[in-house]
Amino acid sequence: MEIRCRKGTCRFNNGCSCLADHVEVSKVACCNSFTPDPLKENVTVSNGNLFEISKELSPRNLRNVPLSCRSRNCLFNKETKCCANGIFVIDDEENAGCATYIER
């Protein structure tokens, strides 16, 4: 599963790929695994389509990472496990929002 992330200030963000060992999406579709990194406090991911960044500049991180979802209304939530092929986390001001969330 690929986890793409635009939350540039997260300690697990490596070139828009998530390096966390476990990812949990909250009831309100926010990434609970987001951990601010003081060394990245001024890092922002530029506007534009994240998926157009070349793989040489944005490493793909295809790992079998446990992904739990507490958002009961999400189409991809199957008994608190995310069944999407991958997720996309966006920088939602104070939060790291799950953009893959689709309400049933």
In the chain, which ranges are E strands?
2-5, 13-14, 17-18, 23-25, 67-69, 77-78, 81-82, 86-92, 95-98
Confidence label for 93 from pLDDT (cuts 50, 70 and 90):
confident
What are the backbone dihedrals phi and psi of residue 38, each rounded to the nearest 5 degrees, phi first?
-60, -25
35-75 pLDDT, tens per residue?
A: 999 998 877 776 544 444 444 555 555 667 889 999 999 99
Rounded to whole angstroms, the Cα distance separating 92 from 79 reads: 26
User: What's the confidence (pLDDT) of residue 62?
Assistant: 64
Q: Is the pLDDT of residue 83 over 90?
A: yes
pTM for the model stands at 0.80
Q: Is the pLDDT of residue 84 over 90?
A: yes
Q: What is the mean pLDDT of the chain?
A: 85
Length, in residues, of the chain = 104
Which range among 45-54, 75-84, 86-95 has the greatest average pLDDT?
75-84
The residue written with tokens 């893959």 in the block is 100
In 3D, which of 96, 29, 33, 100 has the Cα closest to residue 66?
33
